[in-house]
Amino acid sequence: MRQIAVDSEIAIQPVGETAVKVVFGQGISPEIHYRVKALIDHLDKAPFPGFIEYVAAFASVTVFYDLPVIKQLQQDSAEKDRPAYQFTGGLLRDIVSGLSAQAEAAPRVVEVPVCYGGEHGPDLAYVAEFNHLTAEQVIELHSQGRYLVYMLGFAPGFPYLGGMPECIAAPRRQSPRLNIPAGTVGIAGMQTGVYPIATPGGWQLIGRTPLELFCPQNNPPTLLKAGDIIKFRPISPQEYAEYGGESQ
């Protein structure tokens, strides 16, 4: 079990008339991530009156609210003359302050099989050459990591991961591809990720998984969620085909 330390010293900023952003810090770190996740977990289980939805990022949570409901809450309180964002920010500050005693359960570990190289990873050789490694070493290093899912974004179900070894980092392509198949695993700078749907993109492609990361007919529609740990497992082209994976 991990103890989550959530400071009451947070920044709360208005975002238009119907949202506020709760900022826990700057940069990307597991400590800030656990604060973000503590808040969104609470909002999932016990939303305050007027809550609509949230958008979580690396270091912040933007919370959208129903303005008439918040105004009514203010009328029933001693803070009816404050701006709605200040009133809502106060609610959120109280929630965050009360999270300090909560504990985070062991994260879910999701194994993602990947067929590296070949038609599924056409940039594997480039990543290896750029880092003065062999393709086999890149595969070994990439698949030995444990990657924290900080958030989902860019495309439905696209995981922003932390934990990739710096020795296999590689720059984005100068000319993005117009169509990258769903399930493709890529590297861009210090990040690695998996394209959940077919989309344009400029990452260096090193492999592909037969798993579906985004299934709109499911509830929830995404395989992964913030706080998960991803473990990539190398598989052969034959295993990829046995999973039912499609060729490009």
Given a contact cutoff of 8 angstroms between Cβ atoms, the answer to whether 238 and 110 are in contact is no
How many other C-beta atoms can be found within 10 angstroms of the C-beta atom of residue 34?
19
CATH no. for 11-98: 3.30.1360.40
The answer to whether 192 and 209 have CB atoms below 8 angstroms apart is: no
In the prediction, which pLDDT does 3 show? 33
Q: Which two tokens stand for residue 47?
A: 């939303």
* Domain boundaries for CATH 2.40.100.10 within the chain: 109-243
Q: What is the pLDDT of residue 4?
A: 36
Which contiguous run of DSSP H or E holds residue 148? strand 147-152
CA torsion through residues 201, 144, 28, 214, sign: positive
* Nearest alpha-carbon partner for 146 in 226, 232, 32, 28: 232
Residue 104 carries which DSSP code? E
* CB crowding 205-238: b at 16 or more within 10 Å, else e: bbbbbbbbbbeeeeeeebbbbbbbbbebebbeee
Q: Supply the pLDDT for residue 151.
A: 86
In angstroms, the CA 116 to CA 109 distance is 21
Fold of 109-243: Cyclophilin (2.40.100)
| DSSP H helical ranges for the chain | 30-45, 67-75, 84-97, 124-130, 135-144, 237-242
Per-residue pLDDT of the chain (248 residues; tens, 9 = 90+): 333 334 546 899 999 999 999 999 888 888 888 889 889 989 999 999 999 999 888 889 999 999 999 999 998 787 777 899 999 999 999 999 888 544 455 789 999 999 999 999 999 999 999 999 999 999 999 999 999 998 888 888 899 898 999 999 999 999 999 999 999 999 999 999 999 999 999 999 999 999 999 999 988 899 998 889 999 999 999 999 998 756 55
Collapsing DSSP to helix, strand or coil, 71 comes out as: helix
In the chain, list all ranges with CATH 3.30.1360.40: 11-98
